[in-house]
């Protein structure tokens, strides 16, 4: 991707000419050198005609590449240059066949020239217009009138007399006049377009450069009669290479502006136009030269008139420059605001507004595109562990890395947070692979070398798409990538919409379920081994939908966490469990469960005031804090930060803390030192193979040793057979939970629980936790 895409590229990145531009410069220099030699002495015309065969294809290619970013106007410019090349070949044929001599051309050649210029004119007229104020109209009309009068005066005095003798009323002379007039009209209209109408996504400065091509063509054609005595020379030998160079310069400017992903705004210029003053100076000089020196009075009047006019013009220029200086600061502020409106303040990349405009523009032109949404995985952990300064530096580094890997016609934007978007041509598989691979290399960020993974969602455009719809599909694919794991790339398909619709319905039903008694709790005993006495219970949420029936916790718990519904659902579970534990304490006395365990998600811990909510629930229900155990997964607190601090506050209330499913997430023995844990629940995956004397047995034995050494209570989860229970007891476990002892049961059955020989697992069946 070009340097212009990188943050701050407009202000700091050096300009590097393309190979096409360098070639155009070289050809133009050679053409002018050969032409100047021809003015001094006769030269073979073949060299001049031959250079055109190289200059025109280069300009046509440069214009075509500028159109690759979705600017149809440049396709017309490219086609027009091809036509000019064919016209030049026809002019060479006229010269060598003897049909025409010198600067004159035949009718068919003139038709090719005019047709090519009209193709460019048509492309120019298709550029969208813009509204202008009446005062702008007036200034513009006066400037154009001044320029036209000046050109007519000079032409009348210097060129027209020679044109009349040179054309001699012939058809070839008339054809040459038509070509010159057409080129002049093209230059004039380009000047009008760039100065006074909107240019849409066409770069304004590029259009200024193109306006010069028409002026160059008209001026060179008008000077053709001056070469009447040198028939071996042709103004086209230098005009067409110069025109090709200007087209390459304009195309290069357009391509760099397109890569930046923003339309070229109409600049607010306070500088006075030098055009009318130049015209006054030139016309005055011509007047003085033309006056016969012998007419003393007339010379004095002319000199005085010119001097007064120049003095008034200088006075006005001084006043205008003073105004421009006073308004300079305002211009700078407006420029900064315009940049900020379309760019991200941290990275300097395009923002959502610019991206949306670029998508709509390309879709309107009917070109297939793809949109990739990139979301960094675990970026919050970097912010929490290393600080926001490092996080911001990483976001800038990611933007620079992506910008350096993308193709020329891509548009890179930051949508906020750690999410980026890339508008790519379709198909874009290779570009996406390069981009994803580049992020896996270490990135420098405020003195750190960081490696990041990213979840990427990709969506291709379809007929009738809008920017909003394309963004939506890419967003759906990106979240699908998130759900599949880190560092994934997922391409959107319609089945994702079906899943999204199902998740949306589930989310809506979840919000409605809490207040309509659709949730209820079951309680699974936690027992003391070997006798199986009731030591505590774990509260497990269940959901019976009024139409869809029972919905598995494996379905609704992840959905609730993803959408944030887990916060109100979790608060309801916590209060109901505490209220029930208080009832047991009153009705069962010493036989009541000594603790009730409630699962708390990472999303709940990140909510400000969670510890205060726990304290309020304990106060409302009358449950002693020591009888409540909050179960959290190690992943929820592994990254530290606000979640761990909230958990420490909860522990400070006297509530016990249990690390659930230990060994399956970001396991770290250091976590047992930083987290205020009282209970460690060994995951079922280690219990399943504990009787086989394999790795699971080693892990289970190591964990019980750690718990004993750190004075933690170890609870083995998912005990399903007598062999597992016996092995765990032999290893030193004193507490267990699983279907071998009891399945989850309603609250009123807890009072009837009695330890004893559990039934075989085959008679109990299996089910979710």
Residue 644: name the closest of 673, 614, 683 by CA: 673
CA 494, CA 474: separation in Å to the nearest integer?
A: 12
Residue 422: name the closest of 464, 369, 377 by CA: 369
What pLDDT is stored for residue 724 in this prediction?
92
Name the pLDDT band for 765 (thresholds 50, 70, 90).
Answer: very low
- Mind listing the pLDDT tens digit for each residue in 469-498? 999 889 888 888 887 877 888 888 888 877
CA 50, CA 62: separation in Å to the nearest integer?
A: 20
CA 728, CA 731: separation in Å to the nearest integer?
A: 5
- Exposure on the CB side of residue 221, measured as CA atoms within 13 A: 26
- Which contacts of 473-477 are long-range, i.e. CB under 8 A and separated by 24 or more positions? 473/371, 473/497, 474/371, 474/372, 474/373, 474/421, 475/373, 476/500, 477/373
Q: Residue 591 CA to chain centroid, in angstroms?
A: 62
The least confident of 514-518, 561-565, 757-761 is 757-761
Greatest Cα pair distance, the chain, in angstroms, is 137
* Pair of tokens at residue 724: 């597992």
**What would you report as the CA-atom Rg of the chain, rounded to the nearest whole angstrom?**
40
* Pair of tokens at residue 604: 């709940």
The percent of residues above 70 in pLDDT, for the chain, comes to: 72
User: Which residue bears the tokens 């760039």?
Assistant: 194
- Mind listing the pLDDT tens digit for each residue in 191-242? 555 555 555 567 777 777 877 776 676 666 656 666 666 777 777 788 888 8
Task: Say if residue 141 is exposed, middle or buried (CB neighbours under 10 Å; 0-12, 13-18, 19+).
Answer: exposed
Check pLDDT > 50 for residue 5: no
User: Higher pLDDT residue, 328 or 640?
Assistant: 328
CA 565, CA 218: separation in Å to the nearest integer?
A: 72
Residue 165: name the closest of 94, 225, 206 by CA: 225
Query: DSSP label at 5?
Result: G
Exposed e or buried b per residue across 588-622, where buried means at least 16 C-beta atoms within 10 angstroms of its C-beta: eeeebbbbbbbbbbbbbbebeebbebbbebbeebe
- Mind listing the pLDDT tens digit for each residue in 291-333? 665 566 566 656 666 666 766 677 677 777 777 777 777 777 7
Q: What is the pTM of this model?
A: 0.47
How does strand 519-528 pair with strand 533-545?
A: antiparallel
What pLDDT is stored for residue 299 in this prediction?
62
Name the pLDDT band for 766 (thresholds 50, 70, 90).
Answer: very low
* Pair of tokens at residue 73: 């106007």
User: Higher pLDDT residue, 596 or 217?
Assistant: 596
First-to-last CA distance in the chain?
A: 51
Q: Which residues pair with 457 in a beta bridge?
A: 373, 490
Residue 636 CB partners (closer than 8 Å, separation 6+):
600, 601, 602, 605, 643
Are 711 and 677 in contact, with CB atoms under 8 Å apart?
no
Residue 590 CB partners (closer than 8 Å, separation 6+):
none
What pLDDT is stored for residue 182 in this prediction?
57
- Mind listing the pLDDT tens digit for each residue in 334-386? 777 777 788 888 888 989 989 999 999 888 888 888 899 999 888 877 877 78
Residue 154 CB partners (closer than 8 Å, separation 6+):
282, 286
CA 244, CA 306: separation in Å to the nearest integer?
A: 39
**Torsion (CA) 289, 295, 299, 301 in degrees, nearest 10:** -140
Residue 724 CB partners (closer than 8 Å, separation 6+):
687, 688, 690, 691, 716, 738, 740
Listing DSSP states for 84-143 in one string gives: HHHHHHHHHHHHHHTSS-TT---HHHHHHHHHHHHHHHHHHHTS------HHHHHHHHHH
Are 39 and 245 in contact, with CB atoms under 8 Å apart?
no
Residue 363 CB partners (closer than 8 Å, separation 6+):
369, 461, 465, 466, 467, 470
* Pair of tokens at residue 176: 């040459």
Name the pLDDT band for 719 (thresholds 50, 70, 90).
Answer: very high
* Pair of tokens at residue 160: 């027209």
Check pLDDT > 50 for residue 4: no
Listing DSSP states for 684-724 in one string gives: HHHHHTGGGTSHHHHHHHHHHHHHHHTT-EEEEE---SHHH
- Mind listing the pLDDT tens digit for each residue in 513-544? 877 888 999 999 999 998 899 999 999 999 88
Across residues 160-171, what is the average pLDDT?
52
The least confident of 196-200, 659-663, 711-715 is 196-200
Residue 699: name the closest of 664, 740, 741, 734 by CA: 664
Check pLDDT > 70 for residue 667: no
Across residues 670-697, what is the average pLDDT?
82
Q: What is the 3-state secondary structure (H, E, C) of 234-285?
A: CCHHHHHHHHHHHHHHHHHHHHHHHHCCCCCCCCCCCCCCCHHHHHHHHHHH
Which helix (H) or strand (E) element contains residue 736? strand 735-737
Are 682 and 667 in contact, with CB atoms under 8 Å apart?
no
3-class state of residue 631 by DSSP: strand
What pLDDT is stored for residue 759 in this prediction?
44
Extended beta strands in 377-429, E state: 411-416, 419-425
Residue 107 CB partners (closer than 8 Å, separation 6+):
171, 172, 175
Are 714 and 682 in contact, with CB atoms under 8 Å apart?
yes
Are 678 and 714 in contact, with CB atoms under 8 Å apart?
no
Backbone angles phi, psi at 745, to 5 degrees: -140, 160
User: Higher pLDDT residue, 223 or 505?
Assistant: 505
Check pLDDT > 60 for residue 188: no
Listing DSSP states for 604-615 in one string gives: HHHSTTHHHHHH
Are 490 and 710 in contact, with CB atoms under 8 Å apart?
no
Dihedral sign (CA 544, 548, 554, 558):
negative
Task: Say if residue 130 is exposed, middle or buried (CB neighbours under 10 Å; 0-12, 13-18, 19+).
Answer: exposed
Listing DSSP states for 138-169 in one string gives: HHHHHHHHHHHHHHHHHIIIIIHHHHHHHHTT
Are 629 and 657 in contact, with CB atoms under 8 Å apart?
yes
Task: Say if residue 75 is exposed, middle or buried (CB neighbours under 10 Å; 0-12, 13-18, 19+).
Answer: middle
């Amino acid at each position: 991707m070009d340097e212009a895409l990188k943050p701050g590229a407009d202000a700091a990145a050096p300009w590097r000419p393309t190979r096409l531009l360098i070639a155009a410069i070289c050809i133009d220099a050679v053409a002018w050198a050969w032409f100047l030699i021809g003015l001094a002495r006769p030269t073979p015309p073949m060299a001049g005609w031959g250079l055109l065969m190289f200059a025109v294809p280069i300009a046509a290619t440069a214009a075509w590449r500028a159109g690759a970013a979705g600017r149809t106007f440049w396709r017309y410019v490219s086609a027009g240059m091809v036509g000019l090349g064919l016209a030049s070949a026809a002019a060479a044929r006229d010269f060598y066949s003897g049909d025409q001599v010198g600067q004159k051309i035949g009718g068919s050649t003139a038709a090719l020239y005019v047709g090519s210029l009209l193709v460019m004119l048509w492309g120019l007229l298709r550029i969208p217009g813009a509204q202008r104020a009446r005062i702008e109209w007036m200034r513009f009309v006066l400037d154009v009138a001044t320029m036209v009068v000046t050109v007519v005066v000079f032409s009348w005095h210097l060129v027209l007399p020679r044109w009349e003798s040179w054309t001699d009323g012939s058809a070839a002379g008339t054809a040459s006049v038509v070509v010159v007039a057409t080129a002049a009209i093209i230059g004039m209209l380009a000047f009008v377009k760039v100065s006074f109408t909107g240019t849409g996504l066409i770069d304004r400065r590029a259009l200024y450069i193109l306006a010069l091509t028409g002026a160059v063509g008209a001026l060179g054609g008008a000077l053709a009669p001056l070469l009447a005595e040198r028939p071996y020379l042709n103004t086209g030998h230098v005009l067409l290479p110069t025109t090709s160079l200007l087209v390459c310069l304009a195309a290069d400017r357009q391509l760099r502006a397109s890569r930046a992903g923003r339309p070229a705004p109409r600049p607010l210029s306070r500088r006075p136009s030098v055009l009318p003053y130049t015209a006054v100076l030139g016309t005055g000089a011509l007047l003085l030269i033309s006056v016969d020196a012998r007419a003393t009075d007339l010379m004095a009047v002319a000199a005085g008139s010119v001097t007064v006019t120049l003095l008034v013009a200088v006075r006005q220029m001084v006043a205008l420059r003073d105004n421009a200086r006073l308004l300079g600061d305002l211009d700078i502020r407006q420029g900064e605001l315009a940049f900020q409106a379309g760019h991200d303040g941290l990275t300097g990349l395009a923002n959502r507004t610019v991206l949306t405009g670029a998508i709509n523009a390309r879709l309107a032109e009917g070109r297939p595109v793809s949109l990739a949404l990139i979301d960094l995985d675990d970026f919050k952990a970097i912010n929490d562990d290393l600080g926001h300064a490092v996080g911001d530096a990483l976001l800038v580094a990611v933007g620079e890395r992506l910008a350096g890997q993308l193709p020329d016609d891509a548009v890179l934007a930051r949508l906020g947070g750690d999410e980026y978007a890339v508008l790519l041509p379709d198909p874009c598989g290779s570009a996406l692979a390069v981009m994803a691979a580049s992020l896996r290399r270490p990135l420098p960020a405020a003195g750190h070398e960081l490696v990041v993974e990213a979840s990427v969602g990709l969506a291709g455009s379809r007929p009738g798409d809008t920017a909003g719809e394309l963004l939506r599909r890419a967003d759906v694919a990106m979240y699908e990538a998130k759900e599949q794991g880190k560092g994934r790339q997922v391409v959107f398909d319609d089945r994702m919409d079906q899943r999204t619709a199902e998740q949306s319905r589930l989310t809506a039903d979840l919000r409605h379920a809490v207040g309509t008694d659709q949730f209820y709790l079951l309680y699974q005993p936690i027992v003391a081994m070997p006798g199986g006495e009731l030591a505590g219970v774990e509260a497990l949420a269940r959901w019976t939908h009024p139409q869809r029936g029972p919905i598995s916790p494996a379905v609704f718990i992840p959905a609730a966490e993803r959408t944030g519904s887990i916060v109100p659902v979790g608060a309801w579970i916590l209060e109901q469990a505490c209220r029930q534990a208080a009832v047991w304490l009153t009705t069962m006395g010493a036989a009541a469960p000594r603790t009730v365990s409630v699962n708390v998600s990472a999303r709940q811990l990140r909510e400000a005031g969670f510890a205060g909510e726990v304290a309020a629930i304990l106060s409302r229900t009358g449950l002693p804090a020591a009888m409540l155990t909050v179960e959290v997964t190690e992943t929820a607190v592994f990254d530290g930060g606000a979640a761990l601090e909230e958990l420490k506050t909860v522990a400070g209330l006297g509530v016990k803390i249990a690390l659930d499913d230990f060994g399956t997430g970001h396991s770290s023995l250091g976590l047992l030192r930083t987290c205020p844990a009282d209970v460690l629940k060994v995951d079922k995956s280690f219990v399943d193979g504990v009787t086989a004397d394999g790795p699971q047995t080693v892990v289970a034995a190591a964990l019980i040793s750690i718990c004993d050494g750190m004075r933690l209570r170890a609870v083995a989860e998912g005990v399903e057979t007598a062999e597992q229970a016996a092995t765990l007891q032999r290893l030193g476990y004193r507490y267990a939970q699983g279907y071998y002892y009891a399945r989850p049961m309603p609250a009123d059955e807890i009072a009837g629980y009695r330890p004893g020989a559990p039934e075989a697992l085959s008679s109990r069946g299996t089910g979710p936790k």
